[in-house]
Chains A and B, each alone.
Chain A
């Protein structure tokens, strides 16, 4: 557990203690609400998680790296950005991987495009985001994130 997760736990438990001391009924209701939220989301979250597991097996990060290395800069950038949207690689795998790419002489642009869409745009989280915020919001947020991720990549390519 990293320090931020730990801090959120400690903070929330303190909050819960204060809440309990102040008003038992309200606290009980909040906990019920939390349980309801959990019940409502658990199926969606599990499907996201198992979808990620599936994608990681069918499309292993090492193969993505090989693809980015072998293509022309333009194809690699668009491809990298697209691959980034469909997978959700944990940071501790993604950064070392992209690190080796950049050090091996792969252009910065596709690497950054991949890194940025990896976290900001989510095809697998789309159904859940859709349920929470509606199709219009989800489509606009993810669409703009994708375009701007490419913009970030291009600017970084010019500056580095």
Chain B
């Protein structure tokens, strides 16, 4: 049963693994080639993902919700759209690098429309890519495709925001590994610090987790239950 559950949780991974097993039995040479061509992408990932995770966590920690809301929220209008295009265009790395960043931004108040703009421009209109395109396909081709792509992203980000509501997005799945305090919900009531003073402290009227090696689960559960706004969450299974 446990195995079936694990496979269900990692369905995609299981399918890929199975495909490789079949390939290595049927055509070993092709299997080796597949692993080799994956090498480039592993390098690409290692170059960008650690820094993206650190940057996302730092921004989450230091940039207050009001700032994100003001610059990337629904009310940011044209300014927000422009900023989203800039963020997406100066980014680096494959599109999946944008996922944790965008989840964090959305959690902190960025609108769906701006999240779509960041994701899409991150994927298509990165500056190093444009230079490459101009080299091989000509400046006119590149410029025309760039202009059309920007127009199209403006249109379909608007459409997406019409169809998708904020509640449709699960939210903090990617950032909710381990113990997490939703600092935007926390009102600084100090109840958690009272029920588990070794772990929680109050700073600037918000709760903060102290670095802690071992967790006392009973105390933690009490603190989670004590929180009046349910801002504390603990996810034992850090794997997705």
Contacts and interface: CB of A to CB of B under 8 A. Distances in A.
B99 A116 contact: no
Q: Which residue, A2, A33, A140, has most C-beta atoms of chain B within 10 A? A: A33
B35 A131 contact: no
A73 interface: no
Contacts of A96: 136
Contacts of B99: 41, 128-129, 132-133
Contacts of A44: 12-13, 96, 240
Contact of A49 (B45, B91, B124, B132): B45
Contacts of B164: 136-137, 140
A122 interface: yes
Given A37-B175, A98-B136, A5 B57 contact: no
Nearest to B104: A37
B168 interface: yes
A25 B88 CA distance: 31
Contact of A37 (B19, B56, B133, B141): B56
Interface stretch (B67-75, B78-86, B203-211, B222-230): B203-211
Interface string A98-116: 1100100000100010011
A67 interface: no
Given A120-B124, A144-B160, A57 B30 contact: yes
Contacts of B159: 144
Contacts of A29: 61, 208-209, 211
Interface in B33-48: 33-42, 44-45, 47-48
Contacts of B25: none
A75 interface: no
A40 B129 contact: no
B169 interface: yes
Contact of B37 (A40, A48, A57, A136): A57
Q: Which residue, A92, A108, A132, has most C-beta atoms of chain B within 10 A? A: A132
Given A33-B180, A54-B20, A125-B95, 15 more contacts: A5-B47, A29-B61, A30-B60, A30-B61, A34-B56, A40-B238, A46-B13, A50-B38, A57-B33, A91-B129, A129-B99, A131-B174, A132-B173, A133-B99, A137-B112
15 contacts: A2-B92, A8-B91, A11-B55, A33-B177, A33-B180, A37-B56, A41-B100, A45-B49, A50-B38, A51-B12, A52-B37, A128-B96, A145-B120, A148-B156, A160-B144
